Amino acid sequence: MDATRYPNLHISRHPLVDHKLSLLRDRTTEPKRFRELVRELSWLLGYEAMADLTTQPITIETPLEQMAGAELEPKVGLVPVLRAGLGMVDAMLELMPSAEVWHIGLYRDERSLKPVEYYNKLPDAATVQVCLILDPMLATGGSSAATVDILKAWGAARIKQVSLIAAPEGIATLSTAHPDVDIHVAAVDRALNERGYIVPGLGDAGDRQFGTFAGPSSEPGHDPADETAEVVRRLQRNLAGES
Ligand code: PRP
Ligand code: URA
């Protein structure tokens, strides 16, 4: 993918991110270690994603004298997308203990790959200026674009997406729908497969965090539904500029 087409895309270059992401992808990494790595990677990506937040001057007293200090200006909201985004919250709260946390529940319909909303308790008017959407996987981009729609309707002035792995198709979808949204990722992978999974990816981020490997319907690598494969082909045509 030509990343220069997307000025809003920020791919981490930190060696610790590369190292931890490789451990995370490894199929032998167990849920406990997987959760730890999601947390560690979230901390590193969060640090980078917050680098352009504004501060305002304040006066503070050290034990020795008064000086000009700084405090974060915008009120920040963390928006984990259930379920998989939950694992990213604690690290972000360590970085910004005063952030508000607003959960959005979405799951991806397995056939249409469209997001289905099932939880949203946002109050009527926005209570924060900057929202960080937390979701480890940006695959078709449908869940992310839907979350941005919700947050914009709520009145959020600025929105950033923080994900561990993105597919080119998802970046194209989100950037086209919402070019004003910054996208911070640890890596952009090759493509989506016919089931809408990111390859090489890491599999199902929710299942790997929470140990829920119950059945074929939630695992990649099974017979692809025709409908799903067609959705992916359409996204890939869009990405290639064929409309
Ligand atoms: C995963 C992931 C994203 C979504 C990404 O969630 O956490 O929310 O898929 O896919 P998209 O970009 O194609 O929309 P999933 O639907 O598996 O739900 P879960 O987190 O509850 O497992
Ligand atoms: N959701 C995941 O958890 N993994 C993918 O590869 C795509 C969507």
* Cα 213 versus chain centre, distance: 22
In angstroms, rounded to a whole number, what is the distance separating the alpha carbons of residues 26 and 206? Answer: 15
Tell me if 87 sits within 8 A of 35, measured CB to CB. yes
Nearest ligand 2 atom to the CA of 204 is 3
- List beta partners, residue 242: none
Residue 106 φ/ψ region, left for φ over 0, alpha for ψ in the -120 to 50 degree band, beta for the rest? beta
Q: Looking at the CA of residue 84, tell me the nearest atom of ligand 1.
A: 20
Q: Model confidence over 158-189: pLDDT tens digits?
A: 999 999 999 999 999 999 999 999 999 999 99
- pLDDT one-digit tens code per residue, 83-112: 999 999 999 999 999 999 999 999 999 999
CA dist 44 → 40, 159, 184, 203, 212 (Å): 7, 18, 11, 22, 26
Q: Which amino acid is at 61?
A: E
Using CA atoms, how far apart are residues 177 and 105, in angstroms rounded to an integer?
A: 20
> What is the overall mean pLDDT for the chain?
94
Distance 195 CA to ligand 2 centre (A): 10
pLDDT average, residue stretch 15-40: 98
Ligand 2 lined by 138 (C-beta under 6 Å): no
Are 132 and 162 in contact, with CB atoms under 8 Å apart?
A: yes
* Cβ(76) – ligand 1 distance below 6 Å: no
8 A C-beta contact, residue 173 and residue 145: yes
DSSP class of 5: G
Distance CA 235, CA 170 (A): 8
Write down the pTM of the prediction: 0.94
